[in-house]
């Protein structure tokens, strides 16, 4: 008997995938006959093989197994099973917001589960293991403070098709902040749902009626585990496991070493790392149904790490919304004033519900796979000269973002990024030109980082960073301009005309 890992449940002759049945698993050995070629084989299982996941919707628990494919979305599950027909869908790209539901997800600053509005049309069903989901059917609609009743009172329901999404969007926002939201917070969150009937005025008025003044946000403090003394990542590790579905294998690592091992064990196979699946809204090739092996990153708690002592280390599992929150809280420190520029750009990426799901690292990987993608996140991180902690073929390396696009990322994963303090003489700006302020890709974006002596007619002290996106697949740095400006005074007219 050849010893195999549980993540290789395929016929050694024809490579056909098989679903392990509990009755065929004895003493850690799975035995069966290939239904494709008839070969009898055995596998030794080293990881736990699960047959189902558990998801709670509106307070009721549901067990979901291999009767669903790996590409099934949370939206399809809710609607097809008639659990929530009020949860709608339209674009299936995370753009319209009619599919919004509320989900309790791990928030790394408070280290607790918090409510987020997420696009159920993008979320893979099997990444929802252990989730607490609230749909429009689970929202109180009778009390004075009920969001549906408030929307109706302000005549914001219109045709009603997008109303469930509008309700769930603000319901999650109120729940996250304990009801203490400002009008600006409500307005910023309203980019998630497109209304097809009106100019949003009655909807926005209804949602802003919940607003009130709130206290200043607390500073970020690094929290450490009482047991290990290491930076706390939210919970102690759970056992890594796998699901054998009817069309794919779904792996759930709980630690970075387990993740790296799963990547190594599936080397050469048609696999994909999955977190928020928001990239599917841009490139349809990322549909989970196109892959034989799916590795779910949500359970890898180390990827949510936040450390400000002394170097800023931000884990790759932070969603764009969580990254914004961390940077906003740290932006008052003089050496990290450039965080304000980063927040400005992050707030214009996609919509708030997409930012609740998608990670900054996933955005970078989308840019790596598709150089033509106008990634605001890549331009921003290149402008601030961030560094990436990457596990390349099992070996940990730290590289500048400037080397990322040329790096072979096959069988590799981004673990974290490093941000550095900068002196006051550095001026960092990030720009974006797009058709709409929100929910639109950049036509062109740019990031600039200049070390300037303002006392000498704004002399450029060292080679600046000038980054552009959206020009072409290969153009990133304005290298000749960067070299030309060294030692030049920006206040000199001759510098601007190139003399």
Q: Round to whole Å and give the CA distance between 410 and 245.
A: 25
Q: What are the b/e assignments for 330-364, b being 16+ CB within 10 Å?
A: beeeeebbbbebbbebbbbbbbbbbbbbbbbbbbb
pLDDT at 6: 41
CATH code of the domain covering residue 310: 3.30.465.10
Same domain, yes or no, for 330 and 412? yes
Helices and strands of the chain, counted as H and E runs: 13, 22
Q: Round to whole Å and give the CA distance between 495 and 488.
A: 6
Say what percent of the chain tops pLDDT 90: 74
**Residue 216 pLDDT > 80, yes or no?**
no
Give the position of tokens 């400037």.
402
pLDDT at 259: 96
**Residue 475 pLDDT > 60, yes or no?**
yes
Same domain, yes or no, for 329 and 391? yes
CATH code of the domain covering residue 197: 1.10.150.120
pLDDT at 288: 95
pLDDT at 196: 80
For 430-469, how does the pLDDT look when each residue is reduced to its tens digit (9 = 90+)? 999 999 888 899 999 999 999 999 999 999 999 999 999 9
Domain edge (last residue) among 254, 269, 296 = 296
pLDDT at 331: 93
100 found inside a domain: no
**Residue 299 pLDDT > 90, yes or no?**
yes
pLDDT at 310: 72
**Residue 345 pLDDT > 90, yes or no?**
yes
pLDDT at 243: 87
Same domain, yes or no, for 348 and 331? yes
Confidence of residue 34 (pLDDT cuts 50, 70, 90): confident
DSSP track, 35-76: TTT--EEEEE--SEEESEEEEEETTEEEEEETTS-TT-BHHH
CATH code of the domain covering residue 291: 3.30.43.10
**Residue 470 pLDDT > 90, yes or no?**
yes
For residue 397, whether the previous peptide bond is cis, meaning omega lies within 30 degrees of 0, is: no
**CA-CA-CA-CA torsion for 390, 46, 71, 373, nearest 10 degrees?**
10
Confidence of residue 132 (pLDDT cuts 50, 70, 90): very high
Other C-beta atoms lying within 10 Å of the C-beta of residue 227: 8
**Residue 227 pLDDT > 60, yes or no?**
no
In this structure, the strands spanning 459-460 and 442-453 are: antiparallel
Range(s) of the domain holding residue 182? 147-208
Compute the mean pLDDT over every residue in the chain, rounded to the nearest whole number: 88
Strand locations in 16-172, DSSP E?
25-26, 29-33, 40-44, 48-50, 52-57, 60-65, 100-107, 112-119, 132-134
pLDDT at 7: 44
DSSP track, 209-222: TT----PPPPPP--
Same domain, yes or no, for 156 and 178? yes
90 found inside a domain: no
**Residue 473 pLDDT > 50, yes or no?**
yes
Domain count of the fold of the chain: 5
Q: Round to whole Å and give the CA distance between 267 and 293.
A: 11
325 found inside a domain: yes
Q: Which residues contact 237 (CB under 8 A, 6 or more apart)?
A: 254, 255, 301
Same domain, yes or no, for 310 and 408? yes
* Furthest-apart CA atoms within the chain: distance in Å: 81
For 35-69, how does the pLDDT look when each residue is reduced to its tens digit (9 = 90+)? 667 677 666 555 566 778 999 999 999 999 989 99
Confidence of residue 25 (pLDDT cuts 50, 70, 90): low
**Residue 26 pLDDT > 80, yes or no?**
no
Confidence of residue 279 (pLDDT cuts 50, 70, 90): very high
Element (H, E) at 265: helix 256-265
Same domain, yes or no, for 311 and 364? yes
Bridge partners, 115 (sequence order): 104
pLDDT at 219: 40
Same domain, yes or no, for 180 and 264? no
Confidence of residue 334 (pLDDT cuts 50, 70, 90): confident
CATH code of the domain covering residue 469: 3.30.390.50
Cβ atoms of 44 and 28 closer than 8 Å? yes
Confidence of residue 220 (pLDDT cuts 50, 70, 90): very low
Q: Round to whole Å and give the CA distance between 125 and 277.
A: 11
Same domain, yes or no, for 305 and 415? yes
Domain edge (last residue) among 185, 208, 231 = 208
Same domain, yes or no, for 307 and 391? yes
248-263 average pLDDT score:
94
For 73-85, how does the pLDDT look when each residue is reduced to its tens digit (9 = 90+)? 999 999 999 999 9
Q: How far is CA 432 from CA 320, 325, 410, 429, 443, in A?
A: 17, 20, 30, 10, 8
**Residue 5 pLDDT > 50, yes or no?**
no
pLDDT at 427: 96
82 found inside a domain: no
91 found inside a domain: no
Half-sphere exposure of 12 (CA within 13 A, CB side): 11
pLDDT at 49: 66
Least confident of 58-67, 215-224, 280-289, 480-489: 215-224
290 found inside a domain: yes
Q: Round to whole Å and give the CA distance between 199 and 180.
A: 26
Q: Which residues contact 262 (CB under 8 A, 6 or more apart)?
A: 7, 240, 251, 253, 295
Same domain, yes or no, for 307 and 415? yes
Say what percent of the chain tops pLDDT 70: 85
Confidence of residue 217 (pLDDT cuts 50, 70, 90): very low
**Residue 316 pLDDT > 70, yes or no?**
yes
pTM (predicted TM-score): 0.85
3-state per-residue secondary structure call for 411-476: CEEEEEEEECCCCCCEEEEEEEEECCCCCCCEEEEEEEEEEEEHHHCCEECCCCEEEEECCCCCCC
215 found inside a domain: no
Same domain, yes or no, for 390 and 319? yes
pLDDT at 158: 83
For 167-188, how does the pLDDT look when each residue is reduced to its tens digit (9 = 90+)? 999 999 999 999 999 999 999 9
Same domain, yes or no, for 400 and 317? yes
User: In Å, how far from its chain's centre is CA 182?
Assistant: 25
* Greater model confidence, 384 or 214: 384
Closest CA to 191 of 110, 306, 100: 100
pLDDT at 1: 34
31 found inside a domain: yes
pLDDT at 402: 95
Helix, strand, coil: what percent of the chain each, to 5? 30, 25, 45
Domain edge (last residue) among 296, 313, 342 = 296
């Amino acid at each position: 008997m050849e010893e195999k890992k549980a993540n290789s449940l395929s016929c050694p002759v024809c490579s056909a995938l098989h679903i392990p049945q509990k009755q065929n698993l004895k003493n850690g050995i799975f035995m069966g006959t290939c239904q494709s070629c008839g070969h009898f084989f055995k596998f030794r299982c080293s990881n736990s093989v699960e047959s189902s996941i558990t998801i709670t919707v509106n307070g009721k628990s549901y067990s979901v197994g291999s009767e669903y494919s790996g590409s099934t979305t949370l939206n399809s599950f809710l609607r097809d099973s008639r659990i929530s027909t009020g949860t709608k869908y339209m674009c299936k790209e995370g753009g319209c917001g009619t599919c919004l539901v509320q989900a309790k997800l791990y928030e790394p600053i408070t280290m607790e589960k918090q409510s987020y509005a997420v696009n159920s049309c993008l979320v893979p069903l099997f990444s929802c293991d252990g989730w607490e989901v609230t749909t429009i059917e689970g929202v109180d609609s009778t009390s004075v403070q009920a969001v549906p009743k408030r929307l109706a009172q302000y005549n914001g329901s219109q045709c009603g098709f997008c109303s469930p999404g509008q309700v769930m969007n603000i319901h999650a926002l109120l729940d996250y902040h304990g009801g203490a939201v400002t009008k600006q917070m409500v307005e910023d969150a309203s980019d998630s749902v497109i209304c097809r009937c009106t100019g949003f005025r009655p909807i926005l008025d209804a949602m802003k009626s919940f607003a009130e003044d709130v206290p200043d946000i607390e500073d970020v403090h690094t929290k450490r585990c009482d047991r290990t003394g290491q930076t706390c990542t939210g919970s102690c590790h759970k056992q890594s496991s796998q699901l054998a579905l009817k069309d794919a294998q779904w792996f759930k690592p709980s630690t970075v070493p387990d993740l790296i091992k799963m990547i190594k064990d599936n080397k050469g196979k048609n696999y994909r790392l999955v977190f928020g699946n928001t990239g599917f809204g841009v490139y349809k090739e990322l549909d989970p149904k196109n892959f034989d092996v799916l590795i779910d990153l949500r359970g890898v708690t180390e990827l949510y790490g936040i450390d400000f002592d002394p170097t800023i280390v931000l884990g790759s599992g932070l969603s764009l919304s969580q990254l914004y929150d961390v940077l906003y809280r740290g932006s008052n420190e003089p050496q990290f004033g450039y965080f304000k520029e980063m927040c400005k750009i992050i707030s214009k990426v996609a919509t708030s519900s997409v930012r609740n799901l998608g990670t900054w690292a996933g955005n970078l990987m989308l840019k790596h796979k598709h150089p033509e993608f106008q990634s605001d996140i890549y331009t921003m991180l290149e402008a601030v000269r961030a560094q990436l902690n990457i596990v390349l073929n099992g070996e940990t390396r730290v590289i500048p973002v400037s080397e990322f696009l040329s790096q072979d990322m096959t069988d590799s994963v981004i673990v974290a990024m490093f941000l550095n303090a900068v002196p006051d003489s550095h001026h960092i700006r990030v720009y974006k030109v797009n058709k709409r302020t929100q929910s639109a890709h950049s036509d062109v974006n740019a990031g600039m980082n200049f070390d300037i002596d303002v006392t000498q007619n704004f002399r450029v002290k060292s080679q600046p960073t000038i980054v552009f996106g959206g020009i072409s697949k290969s153009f990133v740095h304005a290298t000749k301009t960067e070299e030309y400006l060294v030692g030049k005074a920006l206040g000199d007219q001759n510098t601007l005309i190139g003399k």
